Amino acid sequence: MSTLRTVEDLLKDGYELKWQEEFEGDSLNRRDWNVELHEPGWVNKEWQEYVDSEENIRVRDGLLHLIPVEKIDQDGNRSYTSGRVTTQGKRDFTYGYFECRAKVPAGKGYLPAFWLMATDEDVYGQWPKCGEIDIMEVLGDQTCKLHGTMHYGEPHEQSQGCYEVEEQDNFADNFHVFACEWVPGKITWYVDGIKYHEETCWFSARPGEEKLPYPAPFNQNFYIILNLAVGGEWVGYPDETTSFEDQEYVIDYVRVYQKTKY
């Protein structure tokens, strides 16, 4: 099933580099990125509060750092903050080849992600009808295993592929390139140019109505999200083994390639 995909292949296939973020300078490029603010438990019963703080979102040496922070008050109560940035309303895309080079934190309860969400969820309806493309998720206590997933439909359905590496190549100690090619009627996931999942079957529906014409909902503008969750229903929660020292989600770059016509 493995098929190596390179930048040279993309260019030969008619792709052009349409947008890139190299995280240069010493602060987040707010012309292209939003910082989202959310309370603990906003989704998936996660523990972190998403905040706009240099403590949690930092750009240095050509890298974006999303940093989890644990705080313990005088009564021993623990709280957590982290970072979530998006391109919604600033850099939105319909179709393309999306990639980032990154490494993830290690520890029970960490869930870093590189993913796409519909810019306007009212086009086909709120999640999951609007669709979601998860290009990369790696559970912090399983750092040799990559998940690529799409969510859609009502009732909710998903399609997920996984890719595992040897311990010496794990996703926490090494940078890897995570990518997704999204074209009309097909979505394909890659890691380091290796294809590991493909999907062509999905649907979208509104309550009481027939399914909308294929390839809805994956035929509208989506935006990019980079975030680091702390705890949640799927990943589990930090425990005594989880370290908050030197554990970060580090992103080297994000690049989007597109064709002139699809």
Residues labelled as active-site residues: 132, 137
Name beta bridge partners: 177. Answer: 101
The conformation of residue 213, written as its DSSP 8-state character, comes to P
141 neighbors 134 (Cβ within 8 angstroms)? no
Cα gap 254→226, rounded to integer Å: 10
CA atoms within 13 A on the CB side of 125: 18
Asked whether the CA dihedral 37, 38, 44, 47 is positive or negative, the reply is positive
How far CA 73 is from CA of 46, 60, 77, 243, in Å, comes to 20, 30, 5, 18
Cα gap 159→133, rounded to integer Å: 10
How far CA 23 is from CA of 138, 140, 164, 184, 260, in Å, comes to 22, 24, 28, 30, 26
Name beta bridge partners: 20. Answer: 255
| First-last CA distance in the chain | 25
63 neighbors 57 (Cβ within 8 angstroms)? no
Q: Output the CA torsion 202→207→209→213 (10° steps).
A: -30
188 neighbors 198 (Cβ within 8 angstroms)? yes
